Structure 1
Amino acid sequence: MKKKTLLMLAACAAAPLMGQDARQIADSLTIPQIEAGARQLPMPHAPGATIQLLGADYEQIIDSKGKIAPVLADTPVNVSFKVTKDGKEAVSKDYEIMLKAPAADQGNPKPRVIPEILQWKGGQGAYKPGDTVTIACSDKKLAETFVADLADILGCKVKIVAPGQKADISFGTTKESNIGEEGYTLDVTPKGVTIAAATPTGQYWGTRTLLQMLRQNNGSIPCGTAVDFPRYQVRGFMLDVARTPYPLSYIKDVIRTMSWYKMNDLHLVINNNYIFHEQYVDKGRDPFKESYTAFRLESDMKGPDGTPLTAKDLFYTKKEFVDLINYAKSRGVNIVPEFDTPGHALSFTRLRPDLIYKGPMNHDKRRCEMLDAANPETIKLVSQVFDEYLLKDPKFGRPVFEGCDVIHVGADEFYGDKEDYRHFADAVLKHALKRGHTPRIWGSLSTKPGKTPVVSKGVQMNLWNTGWMKAQEAVDLGYDVINTNDGALYVVPYAGYYRMDKNHKGLYNNWIPNRIGNETLPSGHPQLIGASFAIWNDETDIKHSGYAPYDIWGIVSDSMDILGQKMWGKAKAPDTFEQHRELVAAIGDAPRTNPLHKWKDAKPFTVTPGKLPQQLNQPALGPNYHLTMEVELAAAPEGKEQVLLSAPEGELLAVMKDGTIGFRRDDTLEFSFGTKLPVGKKVKIELIGEPENTRLLIDGKSEGTMTLKSFRNPDENFGPRTKGVRSTFVLPLQTLAPSFNGKVFSFNVNPS
């Protein structure tokens, strides 16, 4: 009787389990206990179901077959599974497992860097290099970059010795397959430091960790061993350089800062346009002729009427872009250039007005920017533009985009027919694949369902809006996906929407890379390759207030430290947000980076003017500052500019073409103070530079009305903007009076 009762109880207990479907099983798996030193992941079981490992967020530790690599320290890993039962499949949630390392004696605590080191085994004591630091490195580019960065951090002499010789810091290669292409090991002993990796990129990431340690410890390094590698392959930032000009010097600051936090994917939107064309149409004006648009690369393409594709204000030459790609590559950052078509393509439709979309569409007032997507001539045009950079350029003996493994084909917010869109998307993706590049595209197929197939194999997709593309649908279609969700990761500077930058604490505390809108994929899903945040400059053209790249640096840098931690580091951040920000301050800006143009020595700078022009050779000075000069303008011929101060960062113009005093920045934007210097009279000029506001005083009196000359304002009858102008000006201090017709009697700059 007793035995029968026990069997009945067992049957009752098993009945619910046997009755579960694939979804219920996936949500209630029990992971067998994992012993320290285990080399294979034990799989969960469920009656009547097949369970397969889907993936791990650290695939370097647990591979696709469940093989476990040795760990140096206790390490949490998220795993997920695919459950099949009764012909139906379900993907599980994340299950966190803790992989235990062998017990070790207590040594130095893990150094605090951003992003956090994954595994650390502390040693005893510290290593402190002497006044001259020796480096043994076989990679010339890596050595040159590291030497300059180390000298900037320590202020010491650095000497390169041959590989194999005794050195303070040695670089080596490792055959450890589990750390991947970006992983590295860092070994610090009382005798010196060794950084080892499978690739130069991994070695470079090791230098970022080492430099952050040195900056916090007065040039000493705690002994111990680190094993570190990223959680996600793509750790990205997208910058819209099309609708607001950005000088290359600023982009290089972006690259250095990205690499400081081990971010590795810089997506540059090369072409785009003002999108609110209805504001022109509603006032009886033609946006096709007037809306702002830019294609930022030098191009040979011209329309039948001679209209050039290249922007007229600021553009990057092909040589400059080749150099930028190489510059980024040597710092672990991949450049992803985007040509956005068939929507946002006003630069292309002005080139070929005959290719404006003619079919029915939403937002008809925005038709001017829509290419005729399914027209073979349109696909031919877009392919020709891509080929200018994807095929060998005779000037360089290589393609301009060589080194850009990924190129972006755009394809967002097309308001025409869904089949036309699908035909176009398939064609441009296949063209990129044919040229040997991995194409990336903005997800749009949930809004554009249809019969026309769109290639997915080998294609990456930005999941930017759940209305346009759902995450699970994208994965099911076979795309590798990147979380770029607009609600969480977009910034439109100075707009009333998309302001991720106002929620940095919430981002740090709550955001996870595998949550895309209202969908959550397993963090280790093999098709979730990373995430990226984005800065879109919607506030251009008649909405542009004059803000400078300088003004949004805080948005850029204060987002990178958070997202670098979230995408490289473990699922759970090691510090509170407040502690994290204290660490950001402690490690400081990336070496050789001064995006806000601060002077280390804040003392006033005074010169006695001599023969003009005169070389000042001072670094440019960002706000806050107070410039005082005494000058006398001898003559001001109509229509001829006269430059009072110049440097790569910009020019202070004593006389603009309209005769007024003003300035031009390195982003090409021009501002006028709306007043003229008197001719033949000695006057005292004062320029007071503040963030978003530059003021002019003449003989102690505030003069003129600040005017943004580069963009128009519809509220002022489409004339130059005079209200709400953001007029930040980085003071150029390389040359005094390079083209000034007059005398300069005194010159003083006071950083305030």
Structure 2
Amino acid sequence: MKRSLPALVLLVLALGSLPAPAANAAVGLPPTVPGVRHFDPGVGEFILAAHVRVLADTGEAATVARTLAADLSRGGRPAAVSAGPAASGDIVVRVADSGPAEAESYRIDIGANMTVTARTRQGATHATQTLLQWFSQTTTVPAGAVIDRPDFAERGLMLDVGRKFLSVGWIKQRIREMAYYRMNLLHLHLSDHYGFRLASTSHPEITSPQHYTRAELAEIISYADTYGIEVVPEIGFPGHMNAILAPHPELVLHPATTSPIDVATDSLLAGTAEGRIDLSNPAARPLIEDLLREFVPLFPGRYFHLGGDEYVTDYSRYPQLAAAAHDRLGPDAVPQDLVADTVNGAGDIVASYGKTARLWNDGIPRGARLSVDESIVVEHWTAGNGLLPWVGNDNGPEQLADQGRLLNNSAFTPTYWASGGYAAPMNTPPHLLYAWDPGLFVNGTRLRQDQRERLLGSKLHVWCDDPTVMTEEQMVSPVRERLPVMAQQLWAGTGGAAYPEFVARVRMLGTPSV
């Protein structure tokens, strides 16, 4: 996890500058999380049939209809996909150009029967989750028309399975809950200090005893896709490679000089020193490239995350990096250029498979003369350089947006939650996450109005710095407290509702099961 000293005060101060939230509740409808944006009431009501028929054409609509029928049946209301004209109490699913134009938007027309219309399978899936939330409370819904859409394109959850192995069943249950709240991005942090969680054939020596088989990965990806959720894998480098480098000690980056402060800092950061690969070693990049060529094709989504965070802050301690930069990139090159060149090479491999690379923002090395490819999506978690993510603005959001980069606001405060370790006491309470908004970055800045289209969204980040502190069962409750808050923030804002009112609404809806 990205490390830092506590400074929630900055968040509290910044909250005073938040814009007025958009209304997101539809009066007369059963409450949902997130709340739907717009409801035009009609005359009459819809009453769900005792044995529900879900009607759909073939193709994507039929896929959504089958999932909805299965979810209704699992929730105690018998349902089946059927054909023919719609009757009272039926649900119709349509994926067609007649749906609302905005990405992931949907329309629900409510009368004697109920019709869901969206332009994409993802939009139709979101609509069905709204229906499931309604029917968890009542079988009668007032007539009218709902039109709904999200504010942000990315509404995600990150799981640190590199430090703590989380079972396939646990991950699938989180996917089901994400879908219930209309979220769409699952980021799997697959390698770090305590494990490399993929079964490697190119380098089997790095595979941890607890790992996901190819079949288990396919199961996770397929289940996520059923609910319109994209899986973003991360294999981090050139730092946080402890598990990868454990069988390759010859590739570990060692400083020419050290100090008690350096030793103490590396100890605090849970073995970061042993996880830095020596980019001056000719065998370093081939190892990274082997892993990318093996694993990028296994994930069908649009993205592959390269990590990039917390490599080196004081390059003067590593003269071998400067020498290698001069040899490979020319006499004017600085050691940071070696990092940028490695990132660009990795990004090229990702692009060769038709995908886009992602990177933590400190993976763009400060002081480099070589530019990191601007097509790489930047996850902005820190404003500083080291232990103070709230202080500074190097590679800040405005600067990155002006370079044409797309951003995810992965602010340490308040989007991070740690199950254990030194950072756990700094976890942001759910009510402060509820008071935040996704346009506020970790140092209290916001993008200018002309830059805001560069902000894709945000995620709840679940880190496991000390994997022994909590079991995966013990982690469920704090994640469930925060996930619907993040979903509401990213869909339409909090709508001015008090936090206790929101919590009561979440509890009213219950929790879906796999």
TM-score (norm 1): 0.57
Looking at structure 2, the residues matched to 308 and 350 of structure 1 have their Cα atoms a distance apart, in angstroms, of: 9
1 or 2, which has the higher strand percentage?
1
Residue in structure 2 matching 1:535, options 462, 466, 471:
462
Deviation at 1:478, TM superposition (A): 2.3
1:462 paired residue number: 379
Question: Do the aligned partners of residues 183 and 500 (structure 1) sit closer, same or farther apart at CA in structure 2, a change above 3 Å counting?
Answer: farther
Whether 2:361 is the aligned partner of 1:453: answer no
Q: In the alignment, is the contact (CA less than 8 A) between 1:446 and 1:467 conserved in 2?
A: no
Looking at structure 2, the residues matched to 97 and 309 of structure 1 have their Cα atoms a distance apart, in angstroms, of: 48
Looking at structure 1, the residues matched to 19 and 219 of structure 2 have their Cα atoms a distance apart, in angstroms, of: 44
Looking at structure 1, the residues matched to 355 and 122 of structure 2 have their Cα atoms a distance apart, in angstroms, of: 20
Q: Provide, for residues 197-229 of structure 1, a one-character-per-residue CA deviation record: whole Å limited to 9, x for no partner.
A: 001111100001111111122x22221111111
Looking at structure 1, the residues matched to 424 and 84 of structure 2 have their Cα atoms a distance apart, in angstroms, of: 50
1:559 paired residue number: 482
1:133 paired residue number: 52
Deviation at 1:495, TM superposition (A): 3.8
Whether 2:260 is the aligned partner of 1:367: answer no
Looking at structure 2, the residues matched to 575 and 318 of structure 1 have their Cα atoms a distance apart, in angstroms, of: 44
Unaligned runs of at least 5 residues, structure 2 = 1-16, 267-271, 316-334, 386-394
Q: In the alignment, is the contact (CA less than 8 A) between 2:420 and 2:465 conserved in 1?
A: no
2:391 paired residue number: none
1:266 paired residue number: 186
Q: In the alignment, is the contact (CA less than 8 A) between 2:191 and 2:234 conserved in 1?
A: yes
Show the 5 A alignment for 1:141-540. 141-153=63-75, 155-162=76-83, 166=87, 168-176=90-98, 179-189=101-111, 191-217=112-138, 219-273=139-193, 293-302=194-203, 308-312=205-209, 314-358=210-254, 363=262, 366-373=272-279, 375-390=281-296, 399-401=297-299, 403-415=300-312, 417-444=335-362, 448-457=366-375, 459-468=376-385, 469-495=395-421, 497-498=423-424, 502-522=428-448, 525-540=452-467
Looking at structure 1, the residues matched to 279 and 153 of structure 2 have their Cα atoms a distance apart, in angstroms, of: 32
Give the letter aligned to residue 132 of structure 1.
Answer: H
Show the 5 A alignment for 1:688-703. none
Question: Do the aligned partners of residues 144 and 97 (structure 1) sit closer, same or farther apart at CA in structure 2, a change above 3 Å counting?
Answer: closer
Q: In the alignment, is the contact (CA less than 8 A) between 1:182 and 1:205 conserved in 2?
A: yes
1:659 paired residue number: none
Give the letter aligned to residue 513 of structure 1.
Answer: G
Q: Provide, for residues 303-339 of structure 1, a one-character-per-residue CA deviation record: whole Å limited to 9, x for no partner.
A: xxxx711111x21101210221111011121111100
Q: Provide, for residues 541-561 of structure 1, a one-character-per-residue CA deviation record: whole Å limited to 9, x for no partner.
A: xxx33x211101112111111
Question: Do the aligned partners of residues 142 and 163 (structure 1) sit closer, same or farther apart at CA in structure 2, a change above 3 Å counting?
Answer: farther
Whether 2:475 is the aligned partner of 1:579: answer no
Question: Do the aligned partners of residues 172 and 151 (structure 1) sit closer, same or farther apart at CA in structure 2, a change above 3 Å counting?
Answer: same
Q: Secondary structure at the match of 1:181?
A: coil
Q: Which stretch of the first structure deviates more once superposed, 118-127 or 199-208?
A: 118-127
Looking at structure 1, the residues matched to 257 and 130 of structure 2 have their Cα atoms a distance apart, in angstroms, of: 52
Q: Moved runs in structure 1, 4+ residues, more than 6 A?
A: 93-99
Looking at structure 2, the residues matched to 130 and 177 of structure 1 have their Cα atoms a distance apart, in angstroms, of: 25
Q: In the alignment, is the contact (CA less than 8 A) between 2:378 and 2:406 conserved in 1?
A: yes
Looking at structure 1, the residues matched to 353 and 460 of structure 2 have their Cα atoms a distance apart, in angstroms, of: 28
Deviation at 1:465, TM superposition (A): 0.7
Looking at structure 2, the residues matched to 407 and 525 of structure 1 have their Cα atoms a distance apart, in angstroms, of: 23
Looking at structure 1, the residues matched to 340 and 211 of structure 2 have their Cα atoms a distance apart, in angstroms, of: 31
1:739 paired residue number: none
Q: CA RMSD in A?
A: 2.6
Q: In the alignment, is the contact (CA less than 8 A) between 1:471 and 1:516 conserved in 2?
A: no
Q: Which stretch of the first structure deviates more once superposed, 378-387 or 157-166?
A: 157-166
**Identity across matched positions, percent:** 23
Q: Secondary structure at the match of 1:529?
A: strand
Aligned length: 451
Q: Provide, for residues 264-311 of structure 1, a one-character-per-residue CA deviation record: whole Å limited to 9, x for no partner.
A: 1111110000xxxxxxxxxxxxxxxxxxx2111111133xxxx71111
Larger Rg computed on CA atoms = 1
Looking at structure 2, the residues matched to 269 and 409 of structure 1 have their Cα atoms a distance apart, in angstroms, of: 10
Q: In the alignment, is the contact (CA less than 8 A) between 2:21 and 2:495 conserved in 1?
A: no
Give the letter aligned to residue 414 of structure 2.
Answer: A
Looking at structure 1, the residues matched to 208 and 355 of structure 2 have their Cα atoms a distance apart, in angstroms, of: 26
1 or 2, which has the higher helix percentage?
2
TM-score (norm 2): 0.82
